[in-house]
Structure 1
Amino acid sequence: MIKKINPIYTQNRELSWLKFNERVLEEAEDETVPLYERLKFLAIFNSNLDEFYMIRVGSLYDLSLEKSLKFDNKSFLTPTQQLEKIFAATKILYKKRDVLAARLERVCHAAGIQRKKSEKLGKRETAFVKDYFRTQIMPLLSPLVINVRHPFPHLQNKALYIAVSLKEKKNDILGIIPIPENLPKLLYLPGRKNKYILLEDIVLHYAEKIFNLYTVEKKAVISVTRNADISLDDEDFELGEDYLQHMRKSLKRRGKLAAVRLEINGETCSSMFTYLLEHLNIKKEQVFTCRTPINLSYLLSLDERMTVEQKSTLMYPPFIPSSKCHIPQDTSMIEYIGHKDLLLNYPYQSFDLFLQLLKEAVYDDSVFAIKITIYRIGKRKAKLIQLLSMAAELGKDVTVLMELRARFDEANNINWAEMLQDAGCKVIYGVEGYKVHAKICLIMRRKNNKIEYITQIGTGNYNAQTAKLYTDLSFFTASDDIGLDAVQFFQNMGTDNLQGNYNSFLSAPNSLKPDLLRLINEQREHALAGKVSHILLKMNSLTDRDLIDALATASQAGVKIKMIIRGICCIKPGIKGKTENIKVISIVGRFLEHSRIFCFGSGETAKIYISSADWMTRNTEHRVEIACPIYDLDLKESIYQSLLIMWRDTVKARFLNRDGDYEKFSAKLPRLDSQAFFLEKYTD
């Protein structure tokens, strides 16, 4: 029997995400944002949409093929109904993006940055491009005409191709040209000005020369998006196969999954269109034509050719994270944290401060063990890996829980895991069926025949690059209670124990959700008793139905609930009799708001937790997560006041209305950009 959900105060997760990505596009529209930063927001919007189709649409596609009927528990829509709404909403976003991209190109032209098409090149530029095509591009091309001897090729996920409608006598033929991936995405043209042409535009222009035996009728740039939602735990291990081998083999499956979207930039004929749909096994609703280049990642490299003057006017002012914190200059971090808890606020404070602590631990003779979880660390040479390797080589017991299933970072993490193993670190890979998403580092040392602990808990990854772009908190404490919890956590992970209980931590999948429900209910009981009740939350996404219902119930009892939710928000605030005491804002600005903070109550008695967990079912039930309490009164007050600054943002924030749409704040309100406030606060 299907339990019917009343969706009066909830909305569909996927449609909420599309509204959030539209917010990203609005930042590209904002003329108060420097031009190059607007271009980056345009590229981020595109990249977000790519990942959404690979993962969320891919997952819904799989569900739509199952025989049993499933319903979303927020909107009561089937997977097929959700896909229909997603495709319709996406077409609107494409149109909005195309109009905006054309406008930004005109502004770029005026600023001395110009993307040119082949038909608009001058004589000198034409000769330059022709020579480049002849000497650098043509030798790398593998054109193909589709016929009995040349079957339709497998189109790689998100790769670019030129599709050409050819005529041979009375026969219609399809030609395919893969765009070489080992060439730069754009070619800068000769001259002083910053002019360039895209690689795919060059190949598109010379399609007639490539297929010179045929008559070219129509030609277009195309790209297929494939389902990338593979379950890396489903495949059976082969005899003698280790986990790293298993992961490598599993990843190869990703590029072969079903197509979920076809993007077309250019002209097609009906026969070409029909042929592509049939061979990709997709419907016309999954085809999106656009005037904007399909892959916009090249926009992120345009600053390489900018002059100093252009950079000063087209980009945000340079920002260097502060290397200062509350620790006196002549005091080591280990010594300071041994007496006083510490909180770092990324990106306003430098990630190097965490690395400094780790470096001290490496060379401290009293430190005998370092344990850490790694989810995403990036591709670049990581100082963190060097320090952990050095610690192991110096004889310390180094345990690294490397999550190999961090989506799209699997290959990177496999490489890092092998490097750490070679250095003598003990590398483990988490728990079957559950991604380890918790961010925790434990330093253990022996002093005066007593074991002391320094525990670091973060809301974000140990990634030096993203720590300059994401807002996250990094908490350090010498608390024995938290240190013993950290010891227990790593022991539990080593023994596949997901049911362990902790003195201080709230942990998923065992206790996080029940504890959060309990904390929400405490505030509800306060409200019913006529006491002051308050909940203030910050996270990336809210989708967990149980937590949503608990918040609605608390609202109905009179609890004042404020939430800063950057992305997906499946609760509709302000619904009379349901969620009228709930208010939600979303902040999209220069930095990606990434920290998760849960505050129940106010003043000194408030219970405040920081965490890597969003309030999504995947985090509360299907991942290993930690929420850590903040006991230090100074740090509690600092976190609470920071949340209030964000809550008062009227520049980069939008409030969520009762229809689930985002609205700007009134221009009459005092103007406050919370990220600009923190930038000024933490400037050295």
Structure 2
Amino acid sequence: MKTQQKIFMNRELSWLKFNERVLEEAENREVPLCERLTFASIYQSNLDEFFMVRVGSLIDQMLLDKNMKENKTKMTPQEQIDAIIPQVQKLNRRKDSVYEEMMDSLKEHNIHLVNFQKISKKESEYLRAYFQAEIAPLISPTIIGKRQPFPFLKNKEIYAVAVLETKNGKEKLGIIPCGNETFDRLINISGKDAYMLSEEMILHYVPRIFKGYHVKAKTLIRITRNADIDADSMYDEDLDYRDFMVELIKKRKKLAPVRMELSREMDGEIIDLLCEYLELERKYVFYTQTPLDLSFVFKIQDILRKETELFFEKRVPQRSPQFNEEMPIMDQIEKEDKLLSYPYESMRPFLKMLQEAAEDKDVVSIKMTLYRVAKQSKIIASLIEAAENGKDVTILVELKARFDEENNIEWSRQLEDAGCRVIYGLDGYKVHSKLCLVTRKKKGKVSYITQIGTGNYNEKTSRLYTDLSLMTANVDIALEAAEVFQALSMGETVEETDHLLVAPHCLQNKVIHMIDREIEHAKAGEPAYIGLKMNSLTDKKIMEKLIKASKAGVKIDMVIRGICCLIPGVKGETDNIQVRSIVGRYLEHSRIYIFGTKGREKVYIASADFMTRNTLRRVEVAVPIYNTDIKMQLIEMFITMLSDNVKAREEDHNGNYKIPKNQDTPLNSQEFFYKQAYLNAENVNS
């Protein structure tokens, strides 16, 4: 038991360590000020989702079986929550501290948020007049009483709460929703450099709202609600699946609260009363000195946009040297495999390939899986055009893509209206693969273009996330991709493959087989190697095999951005495993698997992390890289990421992350890849 606890880390605690690395970027004074604001906002929004999904799931588990234990550290749901809460409180204190520091720094750039205690009489008069004219008519206050029950508080909305005393000494509770799209949240005070948040203004003028009462105490609150709904377990077969998902989204908005945040400390009895109304335990109440929603920082960034030193240097995705964009893209892919690396290289060749397929009279069909797409999607436009041009277009739209369901529901309607065949995923499995298959028939001969990626059928996030996209005319890969689509069309999953790794049946087992092969090489006294790049590692079966490989002498390097439940460097167990996490300007999202040493290495790119949900409960696809140049390119990228000593943190044998201390020349891998992309584009243009 003791040994297990040293080797494995609890998933939720590992995630909190990841969000701590995000917070460190907000604390890092070498990061431009406005970008630090972004990281603070990301930290907060990450934490929102963590409570909505992960903490919500743990609370549900406690209701089902409080003695249930997770399989790595054997912690019960209660033990996990008891470990999570103090960690969150500790991190939030750091967030409060860095927020105050950043706000002080903004004053040097003529931006400051008003403190009502420090404003002049003239400013006070202006604010009062503004409130009366612009905000007061639009708010809807409620006083809780026999005739007015406690209102439903929306997820992540801000409310002003006041303890009101009547003339005869009785106490009542007043609640005011502070969110309203008709007035600005960040209010400029009479054209000056001073700003105020609308919820702070509402809170300040609570006495004017509840006239006839004495305001004994007041605060802003924000509720986070559980969002962890198992769509498959709730599915009613008598409903249209799309209609069912619409109802499910409505239901999620009304789930039980899992957290309450307060901007000011209140009397314990009032907190207890709020918790009673919300059916929330007191331990899920958090005080914070920062605004309850930091999304307003993006408005501040817009105001300061001309002060370029406050932002990262502008970077634009570059033209890939692998493509001549003046020539047909599909013809170039038929000659040789191509790889795009986002955000360093532009997504244009893939978009152009899809548009060519929509217009090409020889293209007979396009098949594609869609998980997340942009709101203004050129990909969707090309698919619609293809269908309208008479092509057989089959699209799997994953309606269970968490928090993107509404967007995907709307796209599925438009695709169907255009004549596309739309599939809505599988019972019990999310379809997370990034797969596109174009079939051409020319002079009786059939050919294929297959695109397989690590993510990003989204023009917007392709500029923010690091992802890889392979395009190939390889027939073996195409035929297996066709098998994947055929299985999906019948509501089934692929049972066996020779080239692709396809979860849920042909990925985990094949990965374990390749690890076993490296163990055999190590036992034979030969060099053995495994290199893995992904977002998260939680699959216990794979981790146990990696431990076995480490013990056998296999060298294992892993670049894991987020959750890593395997602790490296533990003597006699994981001595040969190194783990690094890169948290920088761009979200690391690409997945690369490398098995074997130079000359015999197998290299894959994939949509799957090594999480049980990916390896066994989703349809995921990893594609082997057969082109030697692309294989070498990916290995070099991986080596560069291992050498990052600016944005990478190295995990030690205690599970703590630190920036590597060495005498090497500073290397920020993301900046390196962008500089390389600019140089490559210059060479192409010249």
Instruction: Provide TM-score, normalisation by structure 2.
Output: 0.96
Of 432, 437, 460, 1:437 maps to 432
Distance 1:181 1:519 in 2: 55
SS of equivalent residue, structure 1 residue 417: helix
Q: Which residue of 2 aligns with 1:496?
A: 491
- The question of whether the paired residues in 1 share the 8 Å contact of 2:325 and 2:349 is answered with no
Distance 2:345 2:551 in 1: 40
Q: Return the offset for 1:323.
A: 2.5
Pairs within 5 Å for 1:76-225: 76-168=74-166, 169-182=168-181, 183-191=183-191, 193=193, 195-225=194-224
* Moved >4 Å (runs of 4+): none
Q: Which residue of 1 aligns with 2:327?
A: 331
Distance 1:508 1:515 in 2: 10
Pairs within 5 Å for 1:473-492: 473-492=468-487
Q: Which residue of 2 aligns with 1:583?
A: 578
Q: Return the offset for 1:123.
A: 4.5
Post-superposition Cα deviations, 1:560-592, rounded to whole Å, max 9, x if no partner, equal 000000000000100011000000000000100
Determine if the alignment matches structure 1 residue 409 to structure 2 residue 404. yes
Post-superposition Cα deviations, 1:187-234, rounded to whole Å, max 9, x if no partner, equal 1223353x3211111111111100111100111110111110011122
Please tell me the residue identity of whatever aligns with 2:399.
L
- The question of whether the paired residues in 2 share the 8 Å contact of 1:165 and 1:269 is answered with no
Tell me the number of residue pairs that the alignment of Structure 1 and Structure 2 aligns. Answer: 677
Pairs within 5 Å for 1:210-249: 210-237=209-236, 239=238, 241-249=239-247
Greater Cα shift, 557-566 or 87-96: 87-96
Post-superposition Cα deviations, 1:343-376, rounded to whole Å, max 9, x if no partner, equal 0000001122211111111111111111111001
Q: Return the offset for 1:317.
A: 1.4
Please tell me the residue identity of whatever aligns with 1:376.
R
Q: Which residue of 2 aligns with 1:362?
A: 358
Post-superposition Cα deviations, 1:11-46, rounded to whole Å, max 9, x if no partner, equal 100000001100000001111110000000000000
- The question of whether the paired residues in 2 share the 8 Å contact of 1:604 and 1:633 is answered with no
Unpaired runs of 5+ residues, structure 1, are none
Q: Which residue of 1 aligns with 2:25?
A: 27
Distance 2:66 2:293 in 1: 37
| Identical counterparts, % of pairs | 44
- The question of whether the paired residues in 1 share the 8 Å contact of 2:497 and 2:506 is answered with no
Q: Return the offset for 1:140.
A: 1.7
Please tell me the residue identity of whatever aligns with 1:112.
N
Q: Which residue of 2 aligns with 1:642?
A: 637
Distance 1:270 1:338 in 2: 70
Greater Cα shift, 141-150 or 532-541: 141-150
Pairs within 5 Å for 1:1-16: 6-16=4-14
SS of equivalent residue, structure 1 residue 605: coil
SS of equivalent residue, structure 1 residue 20: helix
Q: Return the offset for 1:454.
A: 0.3
SS of equivalent residue, structure 2 residue 468: strand
Distance 1:524 1:29 in 2: 42
Q: Return the offset for 1:282.
A: 2.0
Please tell me the residue identity of whatever aligns with 1:58.
G
Q: Which residue of 1 aligns with 2:287?
A: 289
Q: Which residue of 2 aligns with 1:666?
A: 661
Greater Cα shift, 290-299 or 664-673: 664-673
CA RMSD of aligned residues (A): 1.5
Q: Return the offset for 1:161.
A: 0.4
* Distance change >3 Å, CA 66–CA 395, structure 1 → 2: same
Q: Return the offset for 1:162.
A: 0.5
Q: Which residue of 1 aligns with 2:50?
A: 52
SS of equivalent residue, structure 2 residue 316: coil
Greater Cα shift, 179-188 or 417-426: 179-188
- The question of whether the paired residues in 2 share the 8 Å contact of 1:161 and 1:176 is answered with yes
SS of equivalent residue, structure 1 residue 589: coil
Distance 2:332 2:323 in 1: 6
Distance 2:339 2:494 in 1: 29
Q: Which residue of 2 aligns with 1:419?
A: 414
Distance 1:238 1:671 in 2: 57
- The question of whether the paired residues in 2 share the 8 Å contact of 1:5 and 1:76 is answered with no
* Distance change >3 Å, CA 237–CA 267, structure 1 → 2: same
Distance 1:316 1:522 in 2: 44
* Distance change >3 Å, CA 68–CA 270, structure 1 → 2: closer
* Distance change >3 Å, CA 159–CA 9, structure 1 → 2: same
Q: Which residue of 2 aligns with 1:321?
A: 317
Q: Which residue of 1 aligns with 2:447?
A: 452
Of 375, 384, 387, 2:379 maps to 384
Greater Cα shift, 86-95 or 104-113: 104-113
Distance 1:535 1:55 in 2: 32
SS of equivalent residue, structure 1 residue 408: coil
Please tell me the residue identity of whatever aligns with 1:110.
E
Greater Cα shift, 136-145 or 426-435: 136-145
Distance 2:123 2:624 in 1: 62
Post-superposition Cα deviations, 1:484-524, rounded to whole Å, max 9, x if no partner, equal 01111100000122243223111111111100100111101
Post-superposition Cα deviations, 1:378-411, rounded to whole Å, max 9, x if no partner, equal 3x21111111111111111111100000000001
